[in-house]
Amino acid sequence: MAETLLATLLVTTSATGSSLVYRWPPSPSTTPRLSRVQPLEDSLCASQLDNPWRASHFSDAAAETIPRVSKSCSEADPDDAWHRPNALRDRSLSLSFSPSTSHTISEKISPPKGSRFHTDKAQILYEYDHLFGYSAEFLASLLCPQASMCHQKFELLVDNLAFIGHPVCAEEDGRWRFKPEKVKLGPRGRESRIGRSTSVSRGSASPDTRPLTTEKVPSTSSWLNKFHFVMVLDIPDPSSSASGNVSKYFDIIYEQIAFTVTAVLFQEQVLSNFVENECELLGSLKDSCISKGEPFSSYVLQALEVSSIAPAMKSLYESIKASDMAYITIHNLPLEIQLPPYLDALLHSEAENGVDITRHSENEDAQTWGQEMSFGWKVPPLLPWKSLLLLDGHNGLDPSMNLRGSQVNPEDRTLVEGLIRFLETASVTLSLADMASLLDWDLKSQVLPTVRWLVQHRRAKVVDIVHVGLKTVFTLPAKFERPLSELTVEFATQFDHPSVPSLPVILANISSSLSKQTDNHFFASVVQDKDLIPMYHDIVLWLLKRDMLITLHLRIRVVATRPLKVHVRIEREKALARKAGTRDRLRRGLLFELQDGPEDDDDIDLSPPSGTPWLQLSPKSAHRHSRRQSNESDQQQKMEHPEIDSDGVDESERKTTDEDGSDELDDPDSGWDTAEDHLRPSMISDPGRATPLQRRWLAAMSEGKDPQIAKRFQLINQYFDGRKSDDEILYRAEISRKQLREVLHHYEEYLQTFLHPS
């Protein structure tokens, strides 16, 4: 919204008509639209560049003979700027007025011709009573709709302007009351109240529902009929790249800003006629400034001194334009209001279509950021194996408050003391699960909500765990948010130790470390001295706070190699041969495939039964000869043993094996004789859902391994899918990093490891 916000307005309606009470900034203006690209200020005039031949044959020598312009060529060519029809005249004159507002402001300020004094006064009055080319009175009447359209979202698009708000009005008798909650019968005939939350501190308050308060509501009527807090936005040009999901963009602005501010104003108006008193004060000040001939800017500045609404509108506008959180106070009620820091990305990203990158992976239960942080936040998933980084200036709460003082009630004191304990425990070297264990807190109901609150209020950010010894692998982002020259100066000021190199040197070492096969972590590439670890911890925190580091995680995949598959195939053939009482089956399906890459096996006799030398046969002939010999052997066995079937397996033995289910060698779902039944190396993409044949490969990997290591591999290989990071594996498998390294070492011939950001 920093790109599109033009102004904040407060308009009212009373028995005397509609009025624009206050606005900030004093003189807002819309963004100019261009019909074609403007030449740069220090470039050739457009008449020169518009000539195709001159533009294609332009050279430095020719440039010396062509005079350069000192001002923008667009000043000489007004056709560069695009204007809407009749945009330069008073827009309100082209629209119809109601009978009560049929006179225009121009009638009140038209001075006699030739009068310098009246001309100056007319100019002053024009500043007071005109905005965006409309008369203030007409604009106020347009933004205060009928009572039937109040207490709901308001969105008005006029030319290239968008007006967004939530108008509210008094009851028919002129009194301000909270709207009663809607009541409907539940599934068993019970009453169930529906309505929005009445809390205003989290941006979810509703001006349509009764708050939980015991204060007496004033019963006297007031002159104020309606008021409307309005956000004025510049509609992105549909032909530009900034024309993404405008509808969702407006919805978020309404929900987070317009609705929240209106909820507070409405509550205070009902309880104490606050808005009416403020409007009366500002109206009197405005009339006084006009009578004295003071310019509109003087009225605006004086209003900041005497009003509560005026400075709140100013702070809100400036904070939004700076993409910061707005800390405002309305009638002694402090509020923290903000928009998602990356909200403007909705206007530039056509690929996302409103889907924020917080919508990660399969762990939907862990995605507990909440609806208010679903768009424009770009936060990583809130997962137990993540960590928390406290930001500068927010390592504690407000120092002006005595958090453990007697003025804090017991319930709040318990919450505050718990928050202080959490802030003292939080560290980038601990996971959120570790913090929950140290604090003896429940992860989901206590730790994650606290983290969400800190991140939403920009007091912390979720990061990856940093190794205590700084043995974490980092890489650099594609670009930094600030110029490297500024960051270098700031870094040198804060870290002036003689053992610490300059920031560019540190960044260069991090970048070059990725080319190393070993010792590519931060300690080996940058620190190289255990005594400097505490200081470099601060440096890493400094870099993380400025988004200058990206943590790389180890990810693992399982590879079934050709020797492994040959071994599993041979074991199968041997088992079938033992059942059949012959060794023919071992030769029949295996020998031809082994011709491409034979593997040594001292326990297996691969010579043909007839003594025919295999090396003298071509692959096709060897396969054909093996099939003929097997068929002859099968027929001979059938004649001698009728109880043996065509596969060479005793029917009684097959029956016993099938009944107890102890052997799946010939099961149709065993994976044999399928597309994956080959001897080429292949990846087991999802070991947690391995097929029967893949499970045989995984089991064969553990043959000859230490029983404890083999058991651990059997438990954790389900996470070796290339998607889960090492931190996630350690958390889910409940093992140490040392135990994971042992598994990787013993099974390295079957594992593919790589580094990838989370």
Greater model confidence, 30 or 443? 443
Q: Are residues 288 and 337 in the same domain?
A: yes
Is 384's pLDDT higher than 50?
yes
Same structural domain for residues 459 and 496?
A: no
Regarding whether 341 and 221 lie in a shared domain, the answer is yes
Give the pLDDT mean for 3-16: 89
Indicate whether 606 belongs to any domain. Answer: yes
Residues 203 and 335 in one domain: yes
Task: Answer for the pair 651, 645: CB distance below 8 angstroms, yes or no.
Answer: yes
More confident residue, 727 or 134: 727
Whether 595 and 642 map to the same domain: the answer is yes
* pLDDT number for residue 346: 73
Domain termination site, one of 548, 574, 606: 548
Residue 623 forms part of a structural domain: yes
**369 closest CA partner among 465, 448, 251:** 448
Give the helix/strand (H/E) hosting 540: helix 533-545
| Closest C-alpha to 696, from 596, 582, 591, 560 | 560
Give the model's confidence band at 275: pLDDT under 50 very low, under 70 low, under 90 confident, else very high.
Answer: very high
221 occurs within a structural domain: yes
Mean pLDDT, residues 366-377: 72
- Judged by DSSP in three states, 447 sits in helix
Give the per-residue pLDDT at 399. 40
On the question of pLDDT at 66 being above 50, the answer is no
Minimum mean pLDDT range among 150-164, 405-419, 740-754? 405-419
Give the count of domains, the chain. 4
Percentages helix, strand, coil for the chain (3-state, rounded to 5) are 45, 15, 40
Identify whether residues 435 and 416 lie together within a single domain. yes
pLDDT above 70 coverage of the chain, percent: 64
Neighbours of 116 (CB within 10 A): 8
Cα separation, 742 vs 165, in Å, equals: 61
The packing angle between helices 584-594 and 619-640, to 10°, is: 170
- Looking at the predicted structure, is the pLDDT value of residue 247 above 80? yes
Domain boundary among 622, 649, 669: 669
Average pLDDT, the chain: 75
pLDDT at 173: 83
- Confidence (pLDDT) at 265: 94
Checking if the pLDDT of 391 tops 60, the result is yes
Q: Is residue 438 part of a domain?
A: yes
Residues 479 and 458 in one domain: no
Q: Are 591 and 606 in contact (CB under 8 A)?
A: yes
Confidence of residue 192 (pLDDT cuts 50, 70, 90): very low
Distance from C-alpha of 42 to C-alpha of 49, rounded to nearest angstrom: 13
- Between 649 and 700, residue with greater pLDDT: 700
Checking if the pLDDT of 689 tops 50, the result is yes
pLDDT of residue 343: 83
Domain stops at, among 345, 368, 391? 345
Residue 244 has pLDDT above 90, yes or no: no
**Which 8-state DSSP code applies to residue 443?**
I
Residue ranges making up the domain that contains 614 = 583-669
- 312 and 397 part of one domain: no
Give yes or no for residue 236 having a pLDDT over 60: yes
Q: Is residue 709 part of a domain?
A: no
166 within 8 A of 259, measured Cβ to Cβ: yes
Would you say 313 and 53 are in contact if contact means Cβ atoms under 8 Å apart?
no
Residue 228 burial (CB count, 10 A) = 25
Q: Is pLDDT above 80 for 402?
A: no
Mean pLDDT calculated for residue range 339-351: 72
Q: Is residue 754's pLDDT more than 80? A: yes
Residue 686 lies in a domain: no
Around Cβ 549, how many Cβ atoms within 10 Å?
A: 23
251 and 191 in a common domain: yes
pLDDT at 103: 35
Residue 680 forms part of a structural domain: no
Name the nearest CA neighbour of 12 among 136, 106, 160: 136
Radius of gyration, alpha carbons of the chain = 38
Residue 208: pLDDT over 70: no
User: What is the average pLDDT across 331-341?
Assistant: 88
User: Contact 276/286 with Cβ under 8 angstroms?
Assistant: no
Whether 335 and 444 map to the same domain: the answer is no
Closest CA to 290 of 109, 560, 478: 109
Domain for residue 130, yes or no?
no
Could you tell me if 555 and 724 are in contact, meaning their C-beta atoms sit under 8 angstroms apart? Answer: yes
DSSP sequence for 327-363: EEEETTEEEEE---TTGGGGGT-TTTTT--TT--SS-
411-426 average pLDDT score = 86
Does residue 495 share a domain with residue 436? no
233 and 171 fall within a common domain = yes
Look up residue 447 and give its amino acid: V
